[in-house]
Amino acid sequence: MNENIKQENTNERPPVVVVMGHVDHGKSTLLDYIRKTNIVDCEAGGITQSISAYEVSHKNEKGENKLITFLDTPGHEAFSKMRERGANTADIAILVVSAEDSVKAQTLEAYNTIIESKIPYIVAINKIDRPNANIEKTKMDLVEKGIYLEGMGGDIPFVLISAKIGTGVSDLLDMILLVSEMENLKGNMKNNASGIIIEAKRDPKKGISASCIIKDGVLRSGMFVVSGTSIVNTRMMENFLGKPIKESQFSSPIRLIGFDNMPEVGNTFESFDTKKEAEKYIEQVKNEKNEKINYKQEEKAPGKILPIIIKTDVMGSIEAIEKELNKLNTEDISFKVVSSGVGAINESDLRMGSINNESIIVGFNTKIDNSARDLNESLKVKIETFDIIYKLTDWLKEIMEERRPRQEIIEVTGSLKVLKTFGETKGKQVVGGKVTTGRITLGGNVRIVRRDFEIGSGKIVELQMNKIKSKEVLEGNDCGILVESKTDISGGDVLEAFITVLK
Residue 301 dihedral angles phi and psi, to the nearest 5°: -80, 125
Q: Tell me: do 309 and 177 sit in the same domain.
A: no
Q: Tell me: do 390 and 461 sit in the same domain.
A: no
Q: Which amino acid is at 220?
A: R
For the cut 60, the answer to whether the pLDDT of residue 82 exceeds it is no
Distance CA 79, CA 82 (A): 5
Q: Tell me: do 319 and 339 sit in the same domain.
A: yes
Q: Tell me: do 275 and 316 sit in the same domain.
A: no
Measuring CA to CA, which residue among 124, 135, 133 is closest to residue 159?
124
**pLDDT value at position 18?**
87
pLDDT (mean) for 68-81: 65
Helix (H) or strand (E) holding 500: strand 494-502
Is residue 72 situated within a structural domain? yes
Q: Tell me: do 195 and 153 sit in the same domain.
A: no
Report the DSSP beta bridge partners of residue 440. 473
Is residue 285 situated within a structural domain? yes
**pLDDT value at position 470?**
93
**pLDDT value at position 4?**
39
pTM of the model: 0.64
Is residue 2 situated within a structural domain? no
Is residue 357 situated within a structural domain? yes
Domain that holds residue 359: 304-403
Q: Contact at 8 Å (CB) between 119 and 71?
A: no
> What's 447's domain CATH number?
2.40.30.10
**pLDDT value at position 297?**
45
Neighbours of 121 (CB within 10 A): 24
For the cut 50, the answer to whether the pLDDT of residue 331 exceeds it is yes
Distance CA 465, CA 165 (A): 80
Is residue 1 situated within a structural domain? no
Is residue 4 situated within a structural domain? no
Residue 135 dihedral angles phi and psi, to the nearest 5°: -65, -45
For the cut 60, the answer to whether the pLDDT of residue 143 exceeds it is yes
Distance CA 282, CA 260 (A): 12
Q: Tell me: do 378 and 249 sit in the same domain.
A: no
pLDDT (mean) for 178-186: 91
Q: Contact at 8 Å (CB) between 434 and 467?
A: no
Among 135, 169, 186, which residue terminates a domain?
A: 186
In terms of C-beta distances under 8 Å and separation of at least 24 residues, what long-range contacts does 164-171 make, across chains too? Answer: 164/26, 164/29, 164/33, 164/127, 164/129, 165/129, 166/33, 167/128, 167/129, 168/124, 168/128, 169/30, 169/33, 169/34, 170/58
In terms of C-beta distances under 8 Å and separation of at least 24 residues, what long-range contacts does 348-355 make, across chains too? Answer: 349/309, 349/311, 350/375, 350/376, 350/379, 350/381, 350/383, 351/375, 351/379, 352/309, 353/307, 353/309, 353/379, 353/381, 353/382, 353/383, 354/379, 354/381, 355/307
Q: Tell me: do 194 and 60 sit in the same domain.
A: no
Residue 380 dihedral angles phi and psi, to the nearest 5°: 60, 40
Read off the pLDDT of residues 15-24 as tens digits, 9 standing for 90 and up: 999 888 887 7
Is residue 279 situated within a structural domain? yes
> How far apart, in Å, do the first and last CA atoms of the chain sit?
75
Q: Tell me: do 390 and 358 sit in the same domain.
A: yes
Q: Tell me: do 14 and 134 sit in the same domain.
A: yes
> What's 341's domain CATH number?
3.40.50.10050
Read off the pLDDT of residues 382-410 as tens digits, 9 standing for 90 and up: 999 999 888 999 999 999 988 888 777 88
**pLDDT value at position 86?**
64
Measuring CA to CA, which residue among 294, 268, 296, 312 is closest to residue 79?
312
Read off the pLDDT of residues 24-57 as tens digits, 9 standing for 90 and up: 778 888 888 887 643 344 455 554 445 478 888 8
Helix (H) or strand (E) holding 472: strand 472-474
Q: Contact at 8 Å (CB) between 72 and 94?
A: no
Distance CA 161, CA 124 (A): 7
Distance CA 396, CA 324 (A): 9
Q: Tell me: do 91 and 38 sit in the same domain.
A: yes
pLDDT tier at 156 (50, 70, 90 boundaries)? very high
More confident residue, 8 or 61: 61
Q: Contact at 8 Å (CB) between 290 and 319?
A: no
Is residue 477 situated within a structural domain? yes
Strand spans (E) along 24-99: 52-59, 65-72, 92-98
Angle between helices 389-403 and 315-328 (to 10 degrees): 40
Among 295, 329, 349, which residue terminates a domain?
A: 295
> What's 50's domain CATH number?
3.40.50.300
Neighbours of 240 (CB within 10 A): 18
Read off the pLDDT of residues 254-277 as tens digits, 9 standing for 90 and up: 999 999 988 888 788 999 999 999
**pLDDT value at position 61?**
80
DSSP annotation of 167 reads B
Among 350, 378, 403, which residue terminates a domain?
A: 403
Q: Which amino acid is at 9?
A: N
| Number of domains into which the chain is organized | 4
**pLDDT value at position 141?**
92
Q: Tell me: do 90 and 23 sit in the same domain.
A: yes
Q: Tell me: do 443 and 416 sit in the same domain.
A: yes
Distance CA 33, CA 40 (A): 11
